[in-house]
């Protein structure tokens, strides 16, 4: 069994702390996965106030002040895809996901993306292991338990390789410094250890987890939901999208209920 490195243990402890402190805005996903809706800016009133800027001086203080007319306007804006008012509400998520999931997620480019860097830290020594549901399609087991065990063993070997080689390099650096053959470490990053991390990260598999802050406006988030919560979306990213949708809905119940009504409504002008 792979033993987590110190950085990974710290992240695991932080995940548990955030789950305890913020249970309504956090989810665990898969082997080591996690998502939290850390912060939001704006609300349903922000959307309507923005939409009415050219037609009215009326300003709503918040969704609790909505009349039936206000709720109807919110539904109209969503159904008719009046996009820009929805760009005034923002969300900041933090999520920990396999690198192969990140490669799909980052394609949603109208957002801000800050990812854990293996240049500055050792990688998260945890990787995705598909459970039985993830390995099964229409009742057929695509990847058997025996194959999954071999997959797990291989990924443990690669993670062990990183840890062992990095420690070997660091010991050699320390020895050379003691002998005066390379300069002593100065303030800031150690360029020798940094280069070791840069080189060794190339061996890390896409099943390993990474850590991301994702800041996105609601219009872009809605596009993410539309694409990634579909049953045809890849299983792993769909689990994150469904979790993100649940967290969004808890934070914005009026916007969520309005959105779900518009999904069952024919657009105006349709046959």
Burial of 54 (0-12, 13-18, 19+ CB in 10 A): exposed
236-255: b (≥16 Cβ within 10 Å) or e? bbbbbbbbbbbbbeebbebb
Torsion angles phi and psi, residue 44, rounded to 5 = -60, -35
Return the DSSP state at 229.
Answer: S
Rounded Cα distance between 18 and 24, Å, is 10
- The span from the CA of 253 to the CA of 258, in Å, is 8
Q: How many residues does the chain have?
A: 271
52 given a catalytic annotation: no
Residue holding tokens 């929805």? 86
Helix (H) or strand (E) holding 78: helix 68-79
> Residue 135 gets which letter from DSSP?
T
Q: What is the C-alpha to C-alpha distance for residues 158 and 39, in angstroms, rounded to an integer?
A: 36
* Catalytic hit among 228, 238, 256, 261: 228
Q: Is 185 exposed, middle or buried (0-12, 13-18, 19+ CB in 10 A)?
A: middle
54/267 Cα distance (integer angstroms): 24
Positive or negative: CA dihedral 147, 152, 155, 160: negative
Tokens of 44: 């349903």
Active site (catalytic) residues:
228
């Amino acid at each position: 069994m792979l033993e987590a490195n110190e950085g990974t243990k710290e992240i695991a402890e932080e995940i548990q702390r955030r789950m305890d402190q913020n249970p309504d805005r956090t989810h665990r996903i898969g082997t080591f996965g996690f998502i939290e809706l850390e912060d939001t800016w704006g609300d349903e009133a922000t959307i309507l106030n923005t939409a009415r800027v050219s037609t009215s001086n009326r300003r709503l203080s918040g969704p609790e002040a909505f009349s039936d007319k206000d709720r109807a306007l919110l539904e109209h804006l969503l159904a008719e895809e009046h996009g820009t008012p929805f760009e005034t509400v923002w969300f900041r998520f933090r999520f920990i996901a396999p690198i192969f999931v990140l490669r799909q997620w980052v394609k949603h480019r109208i957002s801000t993306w800050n990812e854990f860097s293996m240049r500055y830290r050792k990688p998260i020594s945890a990787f995705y292991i598909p459970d039985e549901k993830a390995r099964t399609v229409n009742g057929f087991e695509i990847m058997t338990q025996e194959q999954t065990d071999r997959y797990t063993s291989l990924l443990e070997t690669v993670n062990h390789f990183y840890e062992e080689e990095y420690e070997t390099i660091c010991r050699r650096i320390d020895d050379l410094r003691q002998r005066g053959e390379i300069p002593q470490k100065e303030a800031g990053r150690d360029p020798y250890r940094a280069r070791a991390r840069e080189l060794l990260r190339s061996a890390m598999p896409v099943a390993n987890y990474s850590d991301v802050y994702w800041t996105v406006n609601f219009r872009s988030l809605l596009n993410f939901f539309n694409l990634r919560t579909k049953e045809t979306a890849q299983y792993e990213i769909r689990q994150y999208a469904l979790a993100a949708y649940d967290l969004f809905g808890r934070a914005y119940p009026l916007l969520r209920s309005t959105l779900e009504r518009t999904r069952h409504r024919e657009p105006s002008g349709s046959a």
